Structure 1
Amino acid sequence: METSGYHLPVLLHEVIDLLNIRPDGTYVDATFGGGGHSRAILEKLGPDGRLIVFDQDEDAYANRIEDDRVTFVQQNFRHLQRFLRLHKAEPDGILADLGVSSHQFDTGARGFSTRFDGPLDMRMDNRTEKTAAAILKTYPEKQLQLIFQEYGEVTNARTLAQTIVSLRKSNPMRTINEFKSMIQPIVKGNPAKYLAQVFQALRIEVNDEMGALKDLLEQSAAVLKPGALLSIITFHSLEDRLVKNFMKNGSFEVQDDQNFLAETPPKVFKMVTKKPVTATDAELKNNTRSRSAKLRVAQKL
C-alpha cells in the first residue's frame, strides 16, 4: 500500500477499524488525495463492494485507482448528494480527511506553503477563479481582519489587515516571497507559526472550506442510511468544533441547555467516539503532520 510519495494517510488503522467495513457495502472517500485511505477501504471490500471517491484536485485525479469498484468524482465534496444520486449510491459509510495533502504543501507552484516561493494561488480546484493574491488585493480591510482572526487566529489580525491595505497599491503581491517581505515588519512571535496561521486563513477563504464542510455534514445526514457511519478527520479547532456540534446536536451551534424555549433540532447521529481519536506515538514519529489530526465518528440514527 505505497502512498507515501504523495501523501501519508493519517489515523489509517483507526479509520478503518471504526468504519467497520462490510465487504458488500458502499463507501465514500470524500477526500481522495493520495488514495491511502481509499486503498485500505478497498482491501476490506469484496467484489460486490463499491467505493465512490471525491477530489477536486487534478493532481489527485491523475493519481486515481484503476479498479472497477471505484467511481472517481472530480468535484468538491460539497456536491456529495448530487453525485451520489447520479451514481445511485446509498453509502454505508463516509470518510473525509480535511487535511491539505502533503503533495499540495510540497508543490511550491500551488502556493500553499510558506517554505517555497511560488504564486499566491492556494486553489484546491484550479478551475475556480478566486486566488489568495486576488483576496489580498481586493478585500476591504475589515473583511481581511475577520478572515485572519477567525480562520487563522492571528494575534495582530487588525494590524496585518491595515498593513496589507496600506501597502498593496505600491507593492506587488503576486508571489509568496513578495507577500512575506511586505508583512515581515509586523510578524509577531515565531515567524514560521505566524506565517502558517496567515496562510491557513487565506487557504480556508480561497476554498470556502468552512462552507464546504457544512454542506458535507448536512448532506451526509441526508444520504447515509440508518446505522451507517460518518468519519471526519479535522486539523484545526474551527473544523473540529463544527463537526463535533453537528454530530452531537444536528446543528452547527453549541446547544444551550438553559434555553428551554429554543427548539432543539432532532438528533441525527449518535457519537461512536466519545472523545476525538488522535495519533499514536508511533504515528507521530513517522508523520509529524498527524500531530493536530482529530478523528470523530458518528452513526446515523
Structure 2
Amino acid sequence: MQSNKIKAEDNVSTAVNFVLLGFSGLPKLQGLLFGLFFVTYMIILIGNSLVVIITRLDTMLQKPMYFFLGNFSSLEICYASVTLPRILWNIWTQDRSISRLACATQMCFFLMLAATECFLLAVMSYDRYVAICNPLHYPLVMNHNFCVQLAIGSWTIGIPVQIGQTCQIFSLRFCGSNQINHFFCDIPPILKLAHGDTWAHEISVYVVAMLFVTIPFMLIVASYSKIISTILKLPTASGRAKAFSTCSSHIIVVVLFFGSAIITYLRPKSNHSPGTDKLLSLFYTIVTPMFNPMIYTLRNKDVITALRRLFLRK
C-alpha cells in the first residue's frame, strides 16, 4: 500500500506538462488580446530592428552610446520573443499546455536575457557618466575594444547562474495542480506549484535578484548621482539642458524596467497575487521593449536625423 502511494506521488511529480492560464479568464476578449499582442510584437520587431540598422549603418552614429543602444535594441527583440510568440500561440489555438522542458527553457532564456538587460542598462549609465563627468578622457576610456568587452560581459554574465537557478527550480516536485496562473513560465507562479518546503529556493531567488537587479540598479543610481551633480555645475542653461536630454531617455527605460522587476522579485511572498504579477510582468517583458525605440528616437535628434537619411536613401 505504501509502495503504491509512493509510486503515485512519483507519477505526479514527474508530470511532463503544465498549463499556462494566461488570459483565459477573459474569454470574450481573446480576439482583441490576440490583435493587441500581435501589433505590439510587430512594433517591437520593427522599431528595435530600425534602431539596430541605423546604429550599424549610419556613420554619424558610430559612437559608444549608439553601439550600446544597438545592443540594447537587439536584446529587446530577443527578450520579447521569449514570451510573446507563446502568448500569441496560446490565444490563437486555445491550447495552453506547455511541456516541462519547454517551460524550463522559456524560464532560463527569460532569466538570462533579464540579467543581460540589467547589466546593459548599468553599462549604458556608465557610458553617460564618463561622457559627461570626464569628457576629455571619454574617447580613451570608452574605446572600441572596451565597449565590446562590456557588451560581451553583459550578454554572458548571467548564463551560468540562471541555468543553475532554472535547474534548481525544476528539480522540485510538482504535485497537485499543474496550472500556472501566468502568461509565461516565471519564477513566482512556478514556485507556488512546488510540493514541500520551498524556503531555500525562495532565498536563492532573492539572492540572485539582489545580485542581478539590485547591484546594477545601485550602480546606475551612483552614476546618475555623479552625472546630475556635474550637470548642475555647468555654467549655461543650454549646456545643462543638452546634458539632461542625453540621459533622460535612459532614465525613463531604467524606471520602467527596474521599478516593475524590483517590485515583482523583491517584495514578500505574502504580497504576491496573480493579477498583480501579470500586470507588473507586462511592463518589463512587453511595455519596455515596445517603448524603447520610441523613447530613444523621439528624444534623440541624432537618431531622428539618421532615420531620415535612411528613408531618403531608400
Task: Tell me the TM-score normalized by structure 2.
Answer: 0.28
Structure that is richer in helix per residue = 2
- Higher-Rg structure is 2
| Higher strand residue share | 1
Larger RCO (CA within 8 A; separation ≥ 6): 2
